[in-house]
Amino acid sequence: MNIRVLLVEDSQIALVLLKRILNSSPEIDVVGEAHTGLEALQLIPKVQPDVICTDLHMPYMNGLELTTEVMTLYPRPILVISVSVQTDDSRNIFQLLDAGAVDIFPKPTLGLLADDEVFRNELINKIKILSGVKVFRKRRKLPTQNLLVENFAAFSSQSFARPKVVVIGASTGGPQALKELLSKLPLDFPLPVICIQHIYVGFLQGLLDWLAVGCRLPIQIAQPGDLPKPGKIYFAPEQQHLELDARGRFIYSDSPPVAGHRPSVTVTFTSVAKFYGQACVGILLTGMGRDGAEGMQAIAQSGGFTIAQDEASSIVFGMPKAAVELGAAQQVLPIHAIAPRLLSLLQNNFLDF
């Protein structure tokens, strides 16, 4: 059965381009078009879409207002498609994630992205992934018992090195998961935190601004030559890999994408594991694909501690699942339990190296 998509866009040019891209897939049917949020809200019970694609700026009812109403009346996956990358607009776009939207995607423009095969395939694949997302699941608070992977007993009795760094990787659903995790870290958190989030060009600073609102620790893009400092959160830049040099300082790399991504979670995880060894904590959050799985394995093999987000709280259980299947995840937890587990790790007795 084909995936039913409702397009909500006040620009006729963008609407035509999106419809052309999605209709090129034999597995997708565009079952409705709306120029305002209000029009879309009236269409939903009639066309019963599996996925809604909406812009931010629209007359009468904007994307944020529409998302709020949809999640109250007709919960289903929402993909925000916007060209807005100015600071204020970018912050507003991420507010749609607070309201229940699942992900963000750049809007095609005439002569720029509409005929790009990579862009087309990414959008179609994104729709396919989101069509299987059960949006109500990520809002439930789940119990933490019985969520340890089978091989964790072998790790629980071991002594670990005192952690000196935390490294986190995420993709689809990552902004929401990162907000949940990072907002729980206290002001006196004693370690540097290095994050790699798959995100489209132009949206990274907006993500950081959005996360900063509810976070006690300063958040910034990692800069070449800087040494990771305790109590600070660093993000990989757009379109470049983030690694550590022999002195433990940040460096950028233009080497080819890994698992289709640059920055790649695996590249950063592997580099951090090489420098910090047993003193590294690796966390792999929601996301499609398998980027980060081999990197988490490198952390585990170096003697570090690894945590994967569980399936029930993941928007897409792709990257964490790949790590679990490799045997690289020493513990699997719902997103709301990861920060408390991290803090409990810091209160344990560790071996000093």
User: Which sequence positions are flagged as catalytic?
Assistant: 171, 198, 291
Burial class (CB in 10 A: 0-12, 13-18, 19+), 117: exposed
Q: Say if residues 54 and 62 touch (Cβ distance below 8 Å).
A: no
| Of 199, 200, 219, 202, the residue nearest 211 (C-alpha) | 219
What tokens were used for 305? 């501690």
Residue 277 region, left (φ>0) first, then alpha (ψ -120 to 50), else beta?
A: left
- Please name the amino acid found at residue 141: K
In the chain the beta strands, taken as DSSP E runs, fall at 3-8, 28-34, 51-54, 78-82, 103-106, 165-170, 193-197, 219-221, 233-235, 241-244, 250-253, 280-284, 305-309, 331-333
CA distances from 133 to 33, 77, 79, 93, 108 (A): 22, 7, 11, 20, 24
Whole-number Å distance between alpha carbons of 249 and 70: 45
Residue with tokens 């002001």: 187
Residue with tokens 């590249």: 267
Whole-number Å distance between alpha carbons of 342 and 339: 5
- Cβ contacts of 344 within 8 Å, gap of 6 or more: none
- Please name the amino acid found at residue 330: Q
Please provide residue 9's backbone torsions phi and psi, each rounded to the nearest 5 degrees. Answer: -160, 130
Q: How wide is the angle at C-alpha 239 spanned by C-alphas 233 and 241, nearest 5°?
A: 60
